[in-house]
Amino acid sequence: MSISLKLFFILSLVLSFSLSAQETKDIPKLSRAVIIAEQLAGKLVIQNESSISPFKLDPEKAIDHFLFYYSAKWSPSCRKFTSQLKKFYENAKTESTNFEIIFVSRDDSEKEMSDYMIKEKMPWPAIRFDQLDKLGFVKVAGGRGVPCISVLNSRGLILAHSYHNNENYIGTKEPLEEFAKLINFKWSNTDDKSEEAIKE
């Protein structure tokens, strides 16, 4: 085999491995790369007992994977899944800290979002309500209903999603399992029946 043929073969392999899950599974994709941590700087909050306060991602720590959780207080399926996701988060954080879950509210008001975060004692940060419409990549990475999971790497490549072809809802179980693999966390949960998403 000639050197040029070998090089072509190696390049082909590299390119094939770099193809994302979004191309093989027909999941959403962003039009361009974004540095997630930079985009979220100064736009996050977290619940603290009975209040909401600003949250900063640790600038010293590179976060490789983000799970964006699109959810709403008015959705029974969301409330059920939130308790499952909390268990996942708390257990995974004991083994790996190189990830973050970000709550993206689909509530109708800031108060409803805050009430939901406090009542469920969400341990992860959320995008500030007044910033939800300003972050274009968050809209693109979402789905048509809730609950919805979108798994992104640090540069905005969508790796797993609750929707295929923007219409076929596959639920939260499969993308959460994919996320667990990405962060090297062993997770098995049979409670998620992947109910039909409630349209926004």
Structure tokens at 191: 């409670």
Asked whether residue 40 is assigned to any structural domain, the reply reads: yes
pLDDT of residue 119: 97
Query: What would the pLDDT profile of 50-94 be if each residue is shown by its tens digit?
Result: 999 999 988 778 899 999 999 999 999 999 999 999 999 999 999
pLDDT band at residue 8 using 50, 70 and 90 as cut-offs: very low
Instruction: Tell me the percentage of the chain whose pLDDT exceeds 70.
Output: 81
pLDDT at position 18 is 37
Q: What CATH number does residue 112 fall under?
A: 3.40.30.10
- Asked if the structure places residue 4 within a domain, the reply is no
- Model confidence at 5: pLDDT above 50: no
As a whole number, the mean pLDDT across the chain is 85
Q: What is the pLDDT of residue 29?
A: 85
Q: Which domain holds residue 159?
A: 20-199
Residue 80 forms part of a structural domain: yes
Q: What is the pLDDT of residues 127-142, one digit of tens each?
A: 999 999 999 999 999 9
> Of 81 and 192, which is predicted with more confidence?
81
Number of domains in the chain: 1
198: alpha, beta or left, given left = phi > 0 and alpha = psi -120 to 50? beta
126: in domain: yes
The 10s digit of each residue's pLDDT in 14-37 is 334 333 444 445 888 887 778 999
Q: Is residue 106 pLDDT above 90, yes or no?
A: yes
Residue 103 covered by a domain = yes
Is residue 2 in a domain?
no
Tokens of 58: 């640790």
CA 102 to chain CA centroid, nearest Å = 6
Q: Residue 108: inside a domain, yes or no?
A: yes
Angle between helices 76-95 and 173-182 (to 10 degrees): 10
Whether residue 168 lies inside any domain: the answer is yes
Q: What is the pLDDT of residue 1?
A: 55
